[in-house]
Amino acid sequence: HLPEDIAHKVRHDLHLTRDDMQRWARILGKKGWLGYGWPKEFGGPGWTAVQKHLFEEECALACTPRIVPFGPVMVAPVIMAYGTPAQHQRFLPGIASGEVWWSQGYSEPGSGSDLASVKTRAERVGDKYIVNGQKTWTTLGQYGEWIFCLVRTSNEGKPQTGISFLLIDMKSPGVTVRPIKLLDGSHEVNEVFFDNVEVPADQLIGEENKGWTYAKHLLSHERTNIADVNRAKRELERLKRIAKAEGVWEDQRFRDQIALLEIDVMALEMLVLRVLSAMKSGKNPLDIAGLLKIKGSEIQQRYSELMMLAAGPYSLPYVQEAMEAGYQGNFPGGELSNAPLAATYFNMRKTTIYGGSNEVQRNIVAQTVLG
């Protein structure tokens, strides 16, 4: 059921439009697979952790777009765990079908890895909240219809104790989205401004000032998902094809680098399987979620760098058109002709920053795992 034009773009790292991503989401939604990690009582398939891993592996091998995680992977589990029955009925069907596009409102100009310092303010006035502030690095926020936000509802006590979790309609008066251009020239992230935005109080998830608990629940899903080991396995094979096509495969030193990368990909997969085994036993191995994020993001950077080295002069042209809607590429000489390797390399520099920078993650791992 995967449209070939979409698979072609994924195979060659070309720009995916909103229509491309949402078409695939709707295809999965009709099968009940967009929320492939959901339990049956909420409309999901009720798969085990191993079944979910196998589904992700098959999707990666087939060159499907990665599921945009903000709805089905991030906010949906929070709504399921802490939302009211009315919120379940209101929000989950649109997420499961792929019809409603969600964005994430966590980071702020002064609050990245330290989310406890968020300053976006939500003041309760009667049966609504008045929201003022700014979020930044909002991935694909230009497409967002709804955004889940961490907002400050109290300044008393520790910073974590005054945070709440709000769902905000991005069509509300006072919401402004401004683009941020990335190093590769793409428009992937945004700033989102809230100027006296009125949010009905029934769009608060759980209890007021308990949002930090819900945020940690969500981030555990994000950091596990960010390992992206199945995509790494696919891209490793692509790297080998490029190296062989360009003759650098004959260089023992270059093969050594590929071998080291492959060993690390295998180790990452073992770590993922270790997490799956723990989950199958009813454990919640959040203490090593940070390790998945660290190793997965660094591997993404390494294979994009090795592709640049293997391609040699083919990697030098910066194909701006590859980041624009409608570009299909022209590949008469195989994978390398007009391949946006430079753009992909630049884009991958972000992976060790988002979802909590790797430096911060290492500190967390040291504190929680090593003691």
Active site residues: 222
- The set of residues, in sequence order, having a beta carbon less than 8 Å from that of 136 and lying 6+ positions away, is 107, 108, 109, 180, 189, 190, 191, 192
Q: Which of 307, 88, 81 is CA-nearest to residue 207? A: 81
User: In degrees, to the nearest 5, what angle opens at C-alpha 33 toward C-alphas 51 and 78?
Assistant: 90
Q: Which of 100, 111, 104, 115 is CA-nearest to residue 26? A: 100
- The set of residues, in sequence order, having a beta carbon less than 8 Å from that of 368 and lying 6+ positions away, is 287, 290
| β-pairing verdict for 102-105 and 146-152 | parallel
The residue type found at 216 is K
Q: What is the DSSP letter of 241?
A: H
Q: What is the C-alpha separation between 12 and 341, in angstroms, rounded?
A: 9
Residue 117 backbone phi and psi in degrees, to 5: -95, 15
Q: What is the C-alpha separation between 271 and 15, in angstroms, rounded?
A: 31
Residue 56 backbone phi and psi in degrees, to 5: -60, -40
Q: Which of 313, 305, 306 is CA-nearest to residue 336? A: 313
User: In degrees, to the nearest 5, what angle opens at C-alpha 156 toward C-alphas 152 and 160?
Assistant: 55
Three-state DSSP class for 133?
A: strand
Q: What is the C-alpha separation between 283 and 286, in angstroms, rounded?
A: 9
Q: What is the DSSP letter of 116?
A: G
Residues in the chain, total: 371
DSSP H helices in the chain:
4-11, 18-31, 49-61, 76-82, 85-97, 211-225, 229-245, 252-280, 289-311, 341-348, 358-365
